[in-house]
Structure 1
Amino acid sequence: MASTENETETVCRVCGFDGEVFWEGGWPNEAAICPCCGNEPDVGDASVMGLRNYRGYWVGHGAPWDSPSAERKHKRQDWDLLKQMENIPPQWR
């Protein structure tokens, strides 16, 4: 696995949403909550097994957006969950 020490992660490790700073320099951005799946960095995504469990739970419940306002703001008409999940870096799949 590549070092994340100097990296900024803007893609949610759980759902692939891109647009927030979730991790920076190997540390979670505690102010960020994914508007799509509701994951908080270092809560559901600190390990591959943890994020797979979170992802499975979220998808198993219909992949609901975290809140109606987040959905209206970020979800496009042509939104495709599988296409979005392609954004997830390989080491977090």
Structure 2
Amino acid sequence: MWNGRGSNVRATRDRDGRRSRQQAKITAKREDRGNRQRSRRWDCKRREREREASWAAVRWRSRLLVGDWDPRAEIATPGRRIDLNARETSTWQRSPR
């Protein structure tokens, strides 16, 4: 198949006697490369989303386990400063009402 030329060069004629599919093969390779990179990027994004989701689930579960979760915990009132960015802080560690 390779004929000792480049990996993208086919024989002058293929089995059916048609002229070489060289250019088509080159384009196919180029497209494949693009797709591979795109899918890798998408994979990263997907993993990131899954990480975020799993963290949300962990927080939710820990609150349910402790059993002291109330909807008001999500709403920051003047007396209660809630650090929305802190992943480790849970309901029972927040500043008192």
Range class of TM-score, shorter chain: under 0.3
Higher strand share: 1
Largest Rg, 1 or 2: 2
Higher helix share: 2
Could you say which structure has the greater relative contact order, defined with CA pairs below 8 angstroms and 6 or more residues apart?
Answer: 1
